[in-house]
Structure 1
Amino acid sequence: MEDLLAETLASLRRNGFGALYAADVGVAREAVLSLIPVGATVGVGDSVSVRQLGVLEELEAGGRLVVNPFGREVSLRSTAGEISETQRWHMHKQAVNCEYFITGANAVTRDGMLVSTDAGGNRVGGMIFGPQQVVIVVGKNKIVRDLEEAFHRIKNVIAPALCRIKGRKTPCAVEGRCTDCRSPERACHVTVVLERCPTYTPVTVVLVDADLGLGWDEDWPRERVEQIYAACSALTWLKRQPDGSDLSGKPA
């Protein structure tokens, strides 16, 4: 285990979080499965890191009821108008009221704080209160020095990349940095910092020795950044195509 991962794990534990080390994606998948008992209800907060584990399918196959408002079929049917906004809202509500809630974080500091930014707040809301247990999957590429670096990376790396992948017409997608815009497609409305584990919500972090989800330093090798970006793009459903339509065929 790298010193950076060991330091971060120790810091998370000092801050009251459960913290598990996973040497690779397969070990991480088994760790998540071991944390969630058969028969449990499991809500999902949108997370490419979780999708990369391939764990949601195994949770369902193993006898857990998974409520995932961000699954491919649900997302595309919603965009096509087959699922109403009200129905989707109820799915979000149901997800955060499940016994277990699984998601990812945008950054974890070396001193053991978790930082996440949402547009709607349903993901970060589920991290804080509602579920009996929260599981957060974090790749090693999400480790940052401190809160200042976390905020900078979210605003100037993650949000612009996410908006580009999804084809959103935000200033950051064009300029590659945050302009503190007021675009209706803005991705960052709510930011939550878990400085310590919430009093009423046990949180276990599965820290994976692999790059998962969006997140990189601006001075990292281009090849590594491109691999992270491509992997996330492949697992992001609502992307705009060159003709301006999304994957459902609906025009932008």
Structure 2
Amino acid sequence: MNTTFSDGSLPAVRLSGVRRTFVTGRRPVVALDSVTVTFRTGTFTAVMGPSGSGKSTLLQCAAGLDRPDSGSVVLGNQEITGLREKQLTRFRRENIGFVFQAFNLLPALTVADNVGLPLRLAGAKPGRDRIDQVLARVGLADRRGQRPAELSGGQQQRVAIARALITEPTVIFGDEPTGSLDTRSAREILLLLREAVHEAGRTTVIVTHDPVAASMADRTVFLADGRIVDDMKGASADTIAERMTHLGAWSASPRAGEGVGRC
């Protein structure tokens, strides 16, 4: 059954009772422990937690890049956990944009060709006007003919964002999208992601280790030991950093199971 908000709108993404276990050596490791969380349409959420807390697995399950052992993942009104691989691939191409720490640009292609690649993979011919428009949105209108190696790290991530935007996705997922950038470039990238949310109505969910990056989101979700242990809106970088400092204590406290995580 779909969850709706008080205004009647559907969430952009909803994970319900999602569990994901990996086998390391002889022992199973629980990456996600019956996680339930909703990401509202037109919002920017940061996911934080210590190494091994399950935040990247959460992102991958939400984006359909990994399949949970149990539970469900719904994007808009589409349950994706039961889709066959070809169906899931097509759904991702049409509805989801990705931005990664490593940029994942093809070095032999120009900026314009990298941006247009998702449309080509979907069997469509990207128009020059459309590519130019999205490049202008990320401040790279004059770089369309260059190769990634000719760009700075911040510029390459702008190309990656343009590539994510070209299909007009419902949701943009970012895995440490500012992790390899200097402070100034990181802020510019985060502002672009905020613009995609607040001006274009996209929903954006990023994993980050940086409290400053998380403070630019509308909401910060904290994970520890595969469970959501806190959920804050509009928090400052200092407040988020303080939460991270005490995260281990929260995961063992009664608060960890109250309302925000395993519901």
TM-score under structure 1 normalisation? 0.30
> Greater share of strand residues, 1 or 2?
2
- Determine which structure has the larger helix proportion and give its number: 1
